[in-house]
Amino acid sequence: MANEEQARYWGEEGGPRWVASEADHDLMLEPFGAAVVGALAPQPGERVLDVGCGFGATTAVVAQAVGPSGRVVGIDISAPMIERARARLAQSANGMAPVELVVGDAQTDDLRGPHDAVVSRFGMMFFADTPAAIAHISGAVRPGGRLAFVCWRDMSENPWYALPYSVIVGALPEPPPLPGPMTPSPFGFGNIAVVTELMADDGWLDIEDVRFDVDVPLGGVRGLDGALEHVRTTLAGRLLFAQLPAERAEQVMGDVRAVLAHYEDDGVVRLPAAAWVVTARRP
């Protein structure tokens, strides 16, 4: 598997944590899923591939849109998240397309094409080799087929992540290096011009990148406690407790709490989030 490190992380750590806080992530990411599905505009009877489908929130919306005459394939590198997606979709199958859920690496594994369209909600930024992944996904799309994905803009434009990150990194004896363009990370597609140039080189046409901004509920509706629990699961949060004694790490988390408290309103911590919604068409 080309993305062995991502497979390990999402299989052993990230995936189980996401499943455990499923409701929080659903609430936080729903606007982005709605935006990318709206940009794709799936039609009844279409075959659609969902890249990085997670626990199936976007997959279910697309399956409903294409209806029983369509077909949806969801692929994700995380076995725990695919297991949860299967359970979710089994509970809401009426009126939906047949859905095949695959544990696999969309950079290299069989994508069950040809597809009329590809959709991805924050699933495109983690490939070990982005050019190879784009080419592989392209090969699974029929001529004239469509692509729509949503990805985070630069970290500096995302206070929901950047604010707690800056507090924590300032206290670390060994801060993590900022990821470069297209390195496997949440903000690897922040420089969207690099990504769209690759897409153009691969033959995609009518490429558009549109800014999408919304305030998100960090930690769902569980207020500061939920927001802090979310921060603990981020890379900075994990490094904090790995590099510092527990007492000092908790002091830093207290500083994070004080920063996030400014954004709490009626029991919900809402911060600005910024993404790209990218669409394209195969020749």
34, 54, 119, 167, 237 from 38: Cα distances, Å? 6, 19, 10, 36, 34
Using CA atoms, how far residue 53 sits from 105, 154, 186, in Å, is 11, 22, 15
Burial class (CB in 10 A: 0-12, 13-18, 19+), 144: exposed
Nearest Cα neighbor of 230 from 280, 163, 150 is 163
Give buried/exposed letters for 102-114 (b at 16+ CB in 10 A, else e): bbbbbbbeebebe
Task: Answer whether 135's CB lies under 8 Å from 109's CB.
Answer: no
Q: Please give the Cα distance from 225 to 189 (Å, whole number).
A: 30
Architecture of the domain delimited by 4-154+180-218+274-281: 3-Layer(aba) Sandwich (3.40)
CA distance 208 to 36: 12
Q: Can you give the pLDDT at residue 13?
A: 86
Residue 73's beta-bridge partner residues?
Answer: 49, 100
What are the structural domain ranges in the chain? 4-154+180-218+274-281
Q: How far apart are CA 233 and CA 25, in angstroms?
A: 13
What span, in angstroms and rounded, lies between the C-alpha atoms of 167 and 253? 9
Q: How far apart are CA 179 and CA 234, in angstroms?
A: 14
Residues 226 and 209: their CA atoms lie apart, in Å, by 32
User: How far, CA to CA in Å, does 67 sit from each of 30, 58, 113, 121, 233?
Assistant: 20, 14, 18, 20, 36
Tokens 């998100």, residue located: 216
CA 190 remoteness from chain centre: 13
**pLDDT tens digit at each of 283 positions of the chain:** 567 888 888 888 888 888 888 899 999 999 999 999 999 999 999 999 999 999 999 999 999 999 999 999 999 999 999 999 999 998 877 789 999 999 999 999 999 999 999 999 999 999 999 999 999 999 999 999 999 999 999 999 999 999 999 999 999 999 888 777 778 889 999 999 999 999 999 999 999 999 999 999 999 989 999 999 999 999 999 999 999 999 999 999 999 999 999 999 999 999 999 999 999 999 9
Alpha carbons 235 and 183: distance in angstroms, whole number: 15
The structure's pTM equals 0.94
For residue 2, the model assigns a pLDDT of: 67
Let me know: does 128 contact 7? Beta carbons within 8 Å. no
